[in-house]
Structure formats: C-alpha cells, structure tokens
Amino acid sequence: MARARRARRPAALAALALALAGCADLDATADRNCSDFTSQREAQTWHEDHPQAGLDADGNGYACESLAGPARAAGSAARRARVIRVVDGDTIKVELDGGRLDTVRLVGIDTPESKRPQTPVECGSKKAASTLRRLVEGRDVLLRRDATQDAVDKYGRALAYVEADGKDAGEAMVASGWAKPYVYGGVEFTRVGAYRAALREAAARRAGVHGSCGGDFHRAA
C-alpha cells in the first residue's frame, strides 16, 4: 500500500504543476492590456489566442485598434454607424452603435486633397467633399471591411466600404468623377473591378475631375 501511494505521488505532483501553470497563464492573460503591445498586429495575434483577455473593447473582432500598426481585416462583417461629419472626399467621422466615435477612411478611393499638411488645396477637393456629404452625411450607414486590406491605416483611421441604402459610397464617388480607385501597396481590394468600370464611365463623360481638372486628381487648385 505504501509503495502504491509513493507511485501515485509523482502523478499528483505533475497534475498540481499543470494546474499552477494554468493559473499563471490566466493571470498573465488577465494582466494584458493594449499598452503591452507594440502593434495592433501583435495585439490581434494575442487576442485570437486569448479572446477572454478583453482587448477587443467594442466587440467587433479587432483588438487594440488604436495602436498604429494595422492588421488585415478578418472578413466583411458590417458595423452600423451614423455619419456625423464628412471631413473630405474620402474620410468621414461616424458614431457607432453604443455611442463610440470613429474616423473612417473609405477603402479603395483617392480624392483631391484639402486637409493634408504641407499640401496645397487641390483642384476638385471641395466638390469631392460636397459630393460625399450629399451621399452619406447625417445618414445611417454600414461599414464593411475588406479582407484583402488593412483594418486601419497608418493614421489610425478605420478602413471600410461605406454603404448607404445598399449603395457603395466609394463606387458612387468614382462614378461622380470626384474620386478614382486607389490600390495601396499593390494589393487590390475586392471591389476594384467595379470601381475601375465606374472610372472609365466617368472619364468618358468627362465628369468631375476628368472635365474640370484635366483628369489630374492632385493638381493644385
């Protein structure tokens, strides 16, 4: 009997060690917050392994979105929001469900600049902003991410398609002639084909920049 108890003792000690290790892991998980990570990508990796750690404050599947380093969007799940202000032709301020505010850069388009530091106001920038304002400002929209693109840009803005009443505002901007398709880093976004078709049609009609600015989206005003 004594030998049997001695034989069971190593197994019991091993089980205790595993239990203590599990507790330590739980403590480490509980102690983690966004300041412990150097990039959003690093935080996202940790979050996917430890979803209980609380790094996804708004429950949208993306950890520590305020960090500078972008991560690829996980899919095309949409978030509801209300557009409270149009910043320029490709950037908006929104209020998400729950009252959280966010800045959104429309994925896949480029418009004449009016807000970039050390950059002169460009031809068509005011028209681009007013066109986007008519499309989305004050309206309820869906923000839909593209799995081929980053979740946030280097300025911390969320990257998303913006849809109002089922209409893609980015594609509508290209069709209006005040925006053109924009492929970042050589990685084509999912809707690039439709955007390029809209660009060809706008150019043929000499709409927007194509007629008013000689087709140059970054010419000084």
Is 134 assigned a catalytic role? no
pLDDT tens digits for range 120-165: 889 999 999 999 999 999 999 999 999 999 999 988 999 999 999 9
Choosing from 79, 144, 145, 157, which is the catalytic residue? 157
Place of tokens 């509508």: 172
List the catalytic residue out of 65, 79, 105, 144: 105
- Residue-wise pLDDT for 164-202, tens only, equals 999 999 999 999 999 999 999 999 999 999 999 999 999
Residue 36 confidence class, pLDDT cut points 50, 70, 90? confident
Contacts of 158 (CB under 8 A, 6+ apart): 65, 102, 103, 104, 105, 143, 145, 151, 152
| Active-site choice (65, 113, 163, 171) | 113
Beta strands at 109-110 and 91-96: parallel, antiparallel or unpaired: unpaired
Q: What is the pLDDT of residue 120?
A: 82
Indicate if 113 belongs to the active site.
yes
Predicted TM-score (pTM) of this structure: 0.67
105 is known as an active-site residue:
yes
Closest-CA residue to 91 (of 81, 79, 106, 78) = 106
- Residue 192, Cα to own-chain centre: how many angstroms? 17
User: The tokens of 159 are what?
Assistant: 């990257």
Query: What kind and span of H or E run contains 39?
Result: none
